[in-house]
Structure 1
Amino acid sequence: MEQAQGLPQSRACAQSSLSRVGLRRPDSSGWQAPRHRNAAPPVASLAGGTAAPVPSSSGGAVPNPFLTVLLPTALALLLCNMDRICLSVAIMPMSAEFGWPASLQGVIQSAFLWGYMATQLLGGQLADRYGGKRVLAAGIAWFSAASLLLPLALSPATMAAGLTVPVVLLSRFLTGFGEGVALPSMSNLVANHIAPAAKARALGLCFSGFHSGNLAGLVLSPLLLASYGWRGLFFAFGALGLPLLLFWLKVVPDAPPAAAAAKSPGRGPAAASTAPEPPHASTNSLPEAMDSSSSGAPSTSTSTATSAPGTDGGGGASASAGLSASANGSGASGSSSGGGSKSDMTVAKLLSSPATWAIIVVNVVNHFGYFIYLNWMPTYFNKALGFDLRASSFTAFLPWLVMAVGSSASGLLADHLVGSGVPVTAVRKRLQTVAFLVPAAALLLLAQPGISPAMAVGCMTVALGTTSLGQAGFVANMSDVAPRHAGMMFGLCNTFGCLSGIVGVTAVGFVVEATRSFAPVFLLTAALYVVGTVVWNVHCTADRVFE
């Protein structure tokens, strides 16, 4: 009897303790971050589709992160890919005008990736130190100016001097250099502004914008080419950077709500620096403690608290890591909220873990295939299947459309599986396995001689659409294992991926020129998908590896 009477008191004590460190009952939508002492109120739930901000006790409001972070990021990534993919369409009239063989076309298309690779790691480090908003704003200005540079620099004097190819290579290098910071900045923004339970959905929304840029580029490019030529195409896409930059600077917050509140008048720097970080609670105590923090409402467990820390499921570690990441993003540590503070994380530390190498290997395989699709698909439809320029661009639209839809669907599917009790590591492994093995089978069919155009388009659509599941696989796994260093981790892994893309895009030109066929390319890519699947299932984990 005495023990029973003490139970409510114990639960009350647990609630009080959790309140002091910032833990609270999770919102069922997953978009609400943990609240810290002296922190601003949580952001509004996005699951129900509402765009209304949450009123605070002081009369202010916390903006909806969908409108202030995810939507602007998706639009920025959309323009990134428009500027990137336009050359895959423009390369055909440009090569006809300048007499470029297929091998030189591959080198020219790979020039973008030279610059893109150069700023992956740097972009991640800068985003973690100064904030994703500032770094991506600089990237938008840079790659838009570089796109405008190409037609401006190709003057009659430049062409008469025989500098056409060097100028094109330089322009595409600079375009890639500016775009290289985009995805690391996105990773930083998601890690800092979005609760861990909704991370896969947030990444899915951002990547839907990313892949929609391919759609917009493939639809608009042939229309602009027909009316204004390839020079007008680069002018038009480059000019879109200015309104996007103004929108970005106006809408995107400089820091997460809690960090901004901690820096507001009346709250000195000590408020942010003394806010305690949530403890790495075990999954045995966390759900019960959260349950007692609400009066009368039914218990709702977090989507990542599904297994004990250190197990293969990775759920317990992911839960505590996600809470810690939210704390850090809200000013508790200041390492990645744009305050300019230094991190003690190094590349060598990241490379010391098999989990990092699993992500790197999968990134290398994914990018090898992705950039071949991105740069050579219109040419494949034109040269191998006999479609004209406009039909090649519009036919290439379908696979990218399926991939854009699949990116959002992958996030919803992953969050549903985790919420249903499937361990986080199992979700990452299963989705990435499907994302590689189904495209491998499609490419094997695509390599068969005499394949019909309809079958070829279908196989390409299946291959690209299914790889989008990787957004909830290896991409989401980057912030599982290193939530406080998401930008740096993304930049590191993507650097290896870009190197793979350079090799793949360049090699395709030489292979096609030598064999007059894309079949060897499809067979090699399918084999790499199988290798990547094996490595991923052996070494992937959703446990938090780096503090």
Structure 2
Amino acid sequence: MARLTLRPDNHFFSSPIHAHNHPFLSLYTLTPRSFPHHHTPLRSRVKCSASGTERVRESKKLPKSPPIKEDLPNPGSESSDALSTEKTGIEQNWPPWKNIPERYKLIGATSLAFVICNMDKVNLSIAIIPMSHQFGWSSSVAGLVQSSFFWGYALSQLPGGWLSKIFGGRKVLEIGVFTWSFATALVPLLAGFMPGLIFSRILVGIGEGVSPSAATDLIARTIPVGERSRAVGFVFGGLSLGSVLGLLLAPPIIQTFNWESVFYLFGLLGIGWFIGFQFLGEEEVSHRGDETTTSHKPENATREELGNSLKEIPWRSFFKSSAVWAMIYTHFCGSWGHYTCLSWLPTYFSEALSLNLRDAAWVSILPPLASIFVTSLASQFADYLISNGVETTTVRKICQTIAFLAPAICMTLSSVDIGLPPWEIAGILTAGLALSSFALSGLYCTHQDISPEYASILLGITNTVGAVPGIVGVALTGFLLDSTHSWTMSLFAPSIFFYLTGTVVWLAFASSKPQKFTKDHDS
């Protein structure tokens, strides 16, 4: 046995090392402790007995352990093939969206386009406040500027549908997005020149006006019937999200930088979308039953088909139907309240309720945000009634009546001076405007109820008339505000009037019974 003797003036620490895997032999490595200013010479004596010396000699005769080798795969082995296959699989699945079906990418991109669409629509309703202060605009001029968007929007409804049939919804959509985005970025450059400013907003309206028809055509070409309802909801749901984001982002951008920056940034978003959209696939599919086949119609054939279809549309038969006229007037009434509030509520909250720009924008977010929730409830409510045997016409009348009477009552409460604080008035208006979303289960379903074949044409007709309040109503609100200096008379009273008269007309003449519209050849 080896004995280690250390003198007190030596300082060591030791670590055991098992040599040669011998179970009984341990060697010690002695290392002097390091002191920066004091070095002590190493003095030690190791005494080994004879038996200990013999064990050391025997241990030296033991064979050395072979070095441990890691089992690395050979280039041609099965494990190497597995590793290469795994790497190839990772490369094939990257980026994560690489294997997503092309139609889902198109629908996602289209929904994003609609988000940007409403962001560019509502940004002026916030920016108009500092713009009016800078350029000294009256309420009439501000109303004229805001209403110019709807001139282009109204004029492009039916042409957008025709162009989508000729060139395809994808092409029309991307041109529409580029048009409104480029025109949005031009607003700061043309703001000091009124004709140029109005022209730029008309271009924004034209670009956004062709987009609903283009999206509808894109969905019809790329989405099978079993997925179409969800696709429509996902795409057009981007409008509400765009309103929320636009009203949420515009105030801090304006306060941090200036009002010009909100148009530049939002315009660049759309141009960036246009560039990214070019990288998506071009495939169009037609769905018949359970089969999916690729279809590429020649452009000339599509034009010929469009010409024939336009000649066969029973225009006179449409306008002989009292149900169609009920839809037209109801759409006009609903749009009056919607567009005037969309354009003027931020100013109302800022001036009448004395909220600052940020708070006014935050409050303006509440109606579209609440509408998302109300829309889901309204659709389930309507489907529940129909599935339980309630007549479809009755269900549509109930939903549309809620959509009109609720905001009329809430606007009446808001306009009467009963001493309500600003936040309660904002809450009442939010509730009323959110409940107006019941129209999606009322008026907006009736086109399909009475004629699935001509539903898109009927929607184009009523939507064109429905865009007129954006032109007349928004500008008239500003004119009445300058004349009366009363928000009740300029904003709320006209909307209440149209809500009430629209309810009467709808209850009297609306119908969801299928109608056969035939071509009238008599002149």
Q: In 2, distance between residues paired with 1:507 and 1:173?
A: 18
Closer/same/farther in 2, CA of residues 490 and 102 from structure 1, 3 Å limit:
same
1:534: how far off? 1.9
Secondary structure of the structure 2 residue equivalent to 1:240: helix
Task: Indicate if the aligned counterparts of 1:187 and 1:486 stay in contact, CA closer than 8 A.
Answer: no
Counterpart for residue 228 of structure 1: 257
**For residues 479-499 of structure 1, what are the alpha-carbon distances to aligned partners after superposition, in whole Å with 9 as ceiling and x for unaligned?**
333433343322221111111
Residues 1:79 and 2:116 are matched in the alignment: yes
Task: Indicate if the aligned counterparts of 1:144 and 1:241 stay in contact, CA closer than 8 A.
Answer: yes
Counterpart for residue 211 of structure 2: 182
2:178 to 141, 144, 149: 141
Closer/same/farther in 2, CA of residues 356 and 133 from structure 1, 3 Å limit:
farther
1:544: how far off? 3.4
Counterpart for residue 477 of structure 2: 508
One-letter amino acid matched to 2:343: N
Task: Indicate if the aligned counterparts of 1:191 and 1:479 stay in contact, CA closer than 8 A.
Answer: no
Counterpart for residue 322 of structure 2: 354
Name which of structure 1's ranges 245-254 and 521-530 shifts more when overlaid on structure 2: 245-254
Residues 1:257 and 2:292 are matched in the alignment: no
Residues 1:484 and 2:453 are matched in the alignment: yes
Task: Indicate if the aligned counterparts of 2:286 and 2:293 stay in contact, CA closer than 8 A.
Answer: no
Q: In 2, distance between residues paired with 1:84 and 1:168?
A: 15
Residues 1:530 and 2:480 are matched in the alignment: no
Counterpart for residue 172 of structure 1: 201
1:356: how far off? 1.9
**For residues 509-540 of structure 1, what are the alpha-carbon distances to aligned partners after superposition, in whole Å with 9 as ceiling and x for unaligned?**
11111222211231221121121112222222
Q: Which structure is higher in RCO with an 8 Å CA cutoff and minimum separation 6?
A: 1
1:153: how far off? 3.8
One-letter amino acid matched to 1:497: G
Task: Note the 1:284-433 alignment, pairs <5 A.
Answer: 342-343=308-309, 344-345=312-313, 347-433=315-401
Task: Indicate if the aligned counterparts of 2:173 and 2:211 stay in contact, CA closer than 8 A.
Answer: yes
Task: Indicate if the aligned counterparts of 2:166 and 2:302 stay in contact, CA closer than 8 A.
Answer: yes
Paired positions, count: 411
Secondary structure of the structure 1 residue equivalent to 2:284: coil
Counterpart for residue 106 of structure 1: 143
Residues 1:116 and 2:153 are matched in the alignment: yes
Q: In 1, distance between residues paired with 2:484 and 2:363?
A: 24
Closer/same/farther in 2, CA of residues 192 and 454 from structure 1, 3 Å limit:
same
Unmatched runs of 5 consecutive residues or more in structure 1: 1-60, 270-333
One-letter amino acid matched to 1:469: F
Q: In 2, distance between residues paired with 1:401 and 1:467?
A: 13
Task: Indicate if the aligned counterparts of 1:224 and 1:233 stay in contact, CA closer than 8 A.
Answer: yes
Secondary structure of the structure 1 residue equivalent to 2:178: helix
1:254: how far off? 3.3
Closer/same/farther in 2, CA of residues 69 and 478 from structure 1, 3 Å limit:
farther
Name which of structure 1's ranges 396-405 and 534-543 shifts more when overlaid on structure 2: 534-543
Task: Indicate if the aligned counterparts of 1:188 and 1:486 stay in contact, CA closer than 8 A.
Answer: no
1:74: how far off? 3.0
Residues 1:541 and 2:511 are matched in the alignment: yes
Task: Indicate if the aligned counterparts of 1:435 and 1:468 stay in contact, CA closer than 8 A.
Answer: yes
Closer/same/farther in 2, CA of residues 544 and 214 from structure 1, 3 Å limit:
same
**For residues 19-39 of structure 1, what are the alpha-carbon distances to aligned partners after superposition, in whole Å with 9 as ceiling and x for unaligned?**
xxxxxxxxxxxxxxxxxxxxx
Closer/same/farther in 2, CA of residues 351 and 214 from structure 1, 3 Å limit:
same
TM-score, normalized by length of structure 1? Answer: 0.68
Q: Identity over aligned residues, as a percent?
A: 34
One-letter amino acid matched to 1:381: F
Task: Indicate if the aligned counterparts of 2:407 and 2:432 stay in contact, CA closer than 8 A.
Answer: yes
Choose between structure 1 and 2: higher strand proportion.
Answer: 2
Counterpart for residue 282 of structure 1: none
**For residues 95-145 of structure 1, what are the alpha-carbon distances to aligned partners after superposition, in whole Å with 9 as ceiling and x for unaligned?**
111110111111111010111111012113333554433332221121111
Name which of structure 1's ranges 433-442 and 143-152 shifts more when overlaid on structure 2: 143-152
Task: Indicate if the aligned counterparts of 2:109 and 2:277 stay in contact, CA closer than 8 A.
Answer: yes
Residues 1:493 and 2:462 are matched in the alignment: yes
One-letter amino acid matched to 1:395: V
Counterpart for residue 431 of structure 2: 462
